[in-house]
Amino acid sequence: MSSKPTLYALLVGINAYPRKPLAGCIHDVALVKQYLLTQTDAFHVNENTIKTLTDHQASKASVVESFKNHFKNATEQDTVLFYFSGHGCQETADTAIWPQERDGKLECIVCYPIPGSQASFLLADKEIRYLMANLYSANQPEIITIFDCCHSGDNTRESWVMQGFGASGSQNYRAVRRLRTIAPQRPWSEFIFHNTITPKEAANGFPAAPHIQIAACQDQQLAIENNDLDPNQIHGVFTHTLVRILRETNGNVSYYDLKTRTKNFLKFKYDQIPQLYYHGQDPNHQFRGFLGKAIDQRIPFQGLLSKNAHNHWMLNLGALNGISPALDHLDVTIQGIGKTKVSIQKRAPDITIVGFEAAFAQKLADADQFSFTCFVHNFLSEPMTLYILDNEGVEGLQKLVDSITQEVRNIEIVEQELNANYILQIIDGEYRLFYGNDQYQLRPITQVIERYQYIEAGNGSPTEDVIVENKRADQTLLGYLKQMAQWTYIKELENQHLDDHPFQQQWPLKIHFYKAEEDDRYQRIEAENNVFTVDFFKEEDQKNVGAFRLEIENVYQHPVYFTMAVLDTDFTAQTKLDNDAENVYLIQPGEKITVIKNAEVIEMPYIADYNWPATTSYLKFIVSTDDNIDVGLLNIDKEIPTPETVETNRTYNSFREEKVIREENLRHINTPAKKQKNSSKGWTTQTYTLYSPNPVYNQITPARLQTLINHEVVGEYAIRLYLEKNGLKTIHEETQGSSRSGDTPTKELYALKEDINQENTDTKDFMWDIKLYVGNRVAKYFRRRRFKRQLKRYPDRLLMISEGDSWFQHPLVEEIIDQLMKYYNIYSLGEAGDEIRNYFMKGKFHQALDDVQKKYSQTPRILLLSGGGNDILGKQLLDFVHPKDQVKSEVEPSDYFTDKFKHEVKTIMEIYADIFATTKQKIPNIDIITHGYDYILAVERKKSWVNKYLIQLGYNTSEERDKIIKHLIDTFNQHLEVLTKQYAYVHYINGRTAVQPYQWYDEIHPNKEGFQQIVLKFRQKIREIT
């Protein structure tokens, strides 16, 4: 039994129609069959797997029966092809059953009419869909349909009639494959599905099996047959060209490339533009090889160079295909010739006229070929910038970067976050993506990509934690970035070479935008800076929904073509707003059309959970004076999964069902355009923003905040989005294990940010000053999870344990331990706001040392220790520093300080000494690294731990405060350095002067870059020790 997939084909061609007979359809069938029989390298294919029906054999009953029986054995690995060459027509639709058919007609292929029979010989688009759906539901084969007939551009479109001229044997024979008459409405009983589907079910829509459809022309164009391409035989020009290109490329061509090459050959000679549609969930399917074959990736040529009617070299790719209008040259590799740089002489949405240097042009002439396949290195070359934030120290990061730059052609890796369109964060075994302009909030814009799957021990799981590598992670990330790059290219696309074109002075379209009010009335609004604001209102299900209507008016003096793509925050783009039509509109001067009668903007749950200011989508208009808008690149159907929310379970690579934009009632152009001479040809673009404010932006209730913080994924973002540090506060609590009775230790507090509005403030049992343990609990949870995962993935990394204050554990800043965890396995005990005396008071420090050794069967090699800052800063400064009016002028810095300060420093050093000694007793081979703090800036801030208390004491100038702060920090560092020198295994890091003035997050904490300066010293010391 052959391991190859089977290629099943049903080829139908009809010449002998009683009315308007054709001459080339049977030749077309023979040509297609001849090509298919050559595909034995990829398929099991022979005379038995290809069935042909010609002329009287091709009655409707025979076509339907053959479709069912010939394809019934096709499996998931197989490919089925339905090809039709003949007449197309329309029939009157029952609009009670199919109200979506706004022109009141169904599109049909015309089977052979049996003489004397009253049975219908029309096979409607609905019937073909029905056949494909049944076929796919059985075994899911690859399905391709090819139609060489009029109206074939879309099975829901209307087209026109043109008389053929010349006899079938003459040299100028030319015929149109279309019947003029619109067939009358037929009874329900004549549809092939009348016994299995009720009219009511049909009204709800027909299922569409995933399939590729290639069609001979657009709805307003004609499918021509003649003998131009083969003087000895009449063919459909579409079929003849299609097969010719398949032969020239040895079938190593994608569906999309096949369509564009065929289009560029036909459009200028026959005004016939082939169409490609993919119905299904994967928009990248159109880039698969013809018949589902794998494309040889060693031949990456995706463009076609050929001579046009004016003997100029024409590339079949334009701005809408990824050739940036900003370029003045292209780097091109031409198959069989070599690589060269070509100048851009003329650009259009769908083609680019290029010029070669004389020597290279001669090489092309010597090759004596009509066309050349080529690879354009500048494809999608409007750069999308990406900043990589590696919080994990990923091994093989350079390999990942190389893969990104090689596979995502228009991406640029930048060194600064501020210069990036997007940020890729690598942390906790995950890839996370953010907008570049959101670098201070880092709200996710996609679902995280798990690089590893973790199964924790217990509850029926394995006896110990298990880690499984997700081998698809990198490819998933690359897929996201490719889609984001395409989406960004569409969003930013503009024609930069309009020069003195009238489009430069006048945008040719007037946008009439109407937003819905709560009473269902529509109000006309104007755009402000190209932004339309659509307010949300609550539906009965409590979802926030907005709605709008859109009308377009041509205010230009000539007819123009336009399309509109809706770009959404899930990185989809849609021009197919109705019945999968591509929606390239032709609009006459002064004409106004409704393109969206009613569209809803739905607020997705992640907008509220991550406190986004608004739901934002974009309307991208592309306008041209010529019929040259190819929307292939403008449609991105596959949604990138949106971020996890508190209402949804975390799923790997799942997709949400509902779309942010739902469109209805779109108008198609149903009448031919009158040809008008237009001396000002050109194209232009315009982008409008749909902005729907989040009704609960910066508003939170106690219960809601608690829910967000407690969520496994959303929690770490909620802390950063809603909370900020609110200084130090004395907390009266039982202090077990305290070495000094009567002490009242301090804790840092978190409060709502000032711009967050408090709701339900009458809740008595909730403090808006949220004790830091809330933040610590969540931050510690994520850090412990990260430690366990890193230990499994990198068991050979150096194991350390850390205890410390907010320089080691800060929920809002990437501090010392965050950065060191990129390189080492660190078990964190620290809590922001902790005093060093509390390390022992809690009674957990030494227990934690034991637990780490028992649970993970490893002994920590190094203890990282940070403490003392919270003991000497904060409100206690009022006791540590003399009021200014009690200090003489011209005193030494030490004279500012009271004996309480000196006693406190001494006590801190005694605690340090206890920690050093007892830790060494428990772990004899351990080394300890501790550090001093850098100089705090003497700058008054709203949130203050130091300056505000010094000001209360009367030190109003920064010079005075700077002198006090410098002595305070120096005293602490000097005492700590002296102490550490008494222990050979303890190592001191001097933190002074490491952080630059612009590298502070707040008064006492550096920002990420500032902490990085301290981290460099830690890493150097670790290298010296180990």
The whole-angstrom separation of Cα 575 and Cα 527 is: 21
| Backbone φ, ψ for residue 22 (5° rounding) | -115, 175
Q: Decide if pLDDT at 838 tops 80.
A: no
Give the mean model confidence (pLDDT) for residues 883-894.
87
Write b or e for each residue in 232-249: b if 16 or more Cβ atoms lie within 10 A of its Cβ, otherwise e. Answer: eebbbbbbbbbbbbbebb
What is the pLDDT at residue 614?
Answer: 92
CB atoms within 10 A of CB 525: 14
pLDDT band at 454 (very low <50, low <70, confident <90, very high): low
Residues in CB range of 223: below 8 A, 6 or more apart: 88, 148, 149, 150, 152, 176, 177, 178, 216, 217, 236, 238, 272
Q: Decide if pLDDT at 1006 tops 70.
A: yes
What is the pLDDT at residue 582?
Answer: 52
Q: What is the β-pairing status of strands 352-355 and 313-315?
A: antiparallel
> The tokens 């920064």 sit on which residue?
958
- Cα dihedral angle (602, 607, 612, 613), rounded to 10 degrees? 30
The whole-angstrom separation of Cα 350 and Cα 413 is: 29
Strand partners, 390: 426
User: Contact, 546 vs 535, CB < 8 A?
Assistant: yes
Query: Of 484-488, 790-794, 925-929, which range is least confident?
Result: 790-794
| Backbone φ, ψ for residue 227 (5° rounding) | -115, 25
What is the pLDDT at residue 299?
Answer: 46
Residues in CB range of 973: below 8 A, 6 or more apart: 932, 933, 990, 991, 992
Cα maximum dimension of the chain: 122
Strand partners, 174: 165, 226
What is the pLDDT at residue 728?
Answer: 46
The whole-angstrom separation of Cα 728 and Cα 870 is: 8
Report the chain's mean pLDDT, rounded to a whole number: 80
User: Contact, 441 vs 720, CB < 8 A?
Assistant: yes
pLDDT tens-digit profile of 57-111?
999 999 999 999 999 999 999 999 999 999 988 888 888 887 767 667 888 899 9
What is the pLDDT at residue 168?
Answer: 40
User: Contact, 935 vs 969, CB < 8 A?
Assistant: yes
pLDDT tens-digit profile of 130-142?
999 999 988 899 9
> The tokens 């924790």 sit on which residue?
456
The whole-angstrom separation of Cα 497 and Cα 490 is: 17
Cα R_g (the chain), whole angstroms: 36
E-state strands within 349-461 = 352-355, 371-376, 384-390, 411-413, 422-427, 430-435, 449-450, 452-455
pLDDT band at 508 (very low <50, low <70, confident <90, very high): very high
User: Contact, 364 vs 356, CB < 8 A?
Assistant: yes
The whole-angstrom separation of Cα 198 and Cα 543 is: 33
Give the mean model confidence (pLDDT) for residues 35-57.
95
The listed range with the strongest mean pLDDT (53-62, 640-649, 751-760) is: 53-62
The whole-angstrom separation of Cα 360 and Cα 328 is: 18
How far, in Å, are 47, 192, 362, 578, 725 from residue 68 at the CA level?
Answer: 18, 12, 54, 29, 70
pLDDT band at 835 (very low <50, low <70, confident <90, very high): low
Q: Decide if pLDDT at 446 tops 70.
A: yes
What is the pLDDT at residue 382?
Answer: 66
Q: Decide if pLDDT at 672 tops 60.
A: no
Give the DSSP letter string of 589-644.
TT-EEEEEEEEEEE--HHHHHTT-SEEEEEEEEEEESSS----GGG-B-SPPPPPP
What is the pLDDT at residue 305?
Answer: 84
pLDDT band at 742 (very low <50, low <70, confident <90, very high): very low
CA 378 vs. chain centroid, Å, equals: 21
CB atoms within 10 A of CB 666: 21
What is the pLDDT at residue 741?
Answer: 37
What is the pLDDT at residue 466?
Answer: 65
Reduce the secondary structure of 466-535 to three states and give it as a string. Answer: EEEECCCHHHHHHHHHHHHHHHHHHHHCCCCCCCCCHHHHCCCEEEEEEEECCCCCEEEECCECCEEECC
pLDDT tens-digit profile of 509-536?
999 999 988 777 889 999 999 999 998 8
User: Contact, 433 vs 445, CB < 8 A?
Assistant: yes
What is the pLDDT at residue 579?
Answer: 44
pLDDT tens-digit profile of 468-485?
778 888 889 998 998 898
pLDDT band at 634 (very low <50, low <70, confident <90, very high): confident
* Helix (H) / strand (E) containing 214: strand 211-215
Give the DSSP letter string of 912-945.
HHHHHHHHHHH-TT-EEEEEPPPPPP----SS-S
